[in-house]
Amino acid sequence: MIKETPEEIMVANTVQSNHLNQVLREALISILKEHICKISFTKLDGTVRVMKCTLKEGLLPIVSTDIPKPKKKTSSEVIVVFDLEKKGWRSFRVDSYLDMEEVG
């Protein structure tokens, strides 16, 4: 019988966790493109935030193509959404996601 070392187990768990987070990220983005949702997540300071947000076309601000936008680093660990209450772009980490409720 072959036994895995603690390091091998840790790497395998990390790979599995990363895959699950990617699947969750894709599912959340898909839902947000079709609906307005309340997303609950844990902020970096440990508090829980509920954000009414979407990625639904028609509800997003119109972006001028005349003005070049600065390039921002993108991450597969983060989802960028439009916060309908703050009327601005916000983001949350996929691994901090707690709950989603469709509200529109």
For the chain, domain boundaries: 6-102
Collapse the DSSP code of 69 into the 3-class scheme (helix H, G, I; strand E, B; otherwise coil) and give the result. Answer: coil
pLDDT at 104: 87
Q: How distant is the alpha carbon of residue 91 from its chain centre? A: 7
pLDDT tens, position by position, 73-98: 678 899 999 999 999 999 999 999 99
Q: Which amino acid is at 77?
A: E
pLDDT at 63: 74
Measured distance CA(9)–CA(6) in Å, rounded: 5
b/e for 72-97, b at 16 or more Cβ within 10 A? eeeeeeebebbebeeeeeeebbbeeb
Q: What is the dihedral of CA 32, 38, 41, 45, to 10 degrees?
A: 120
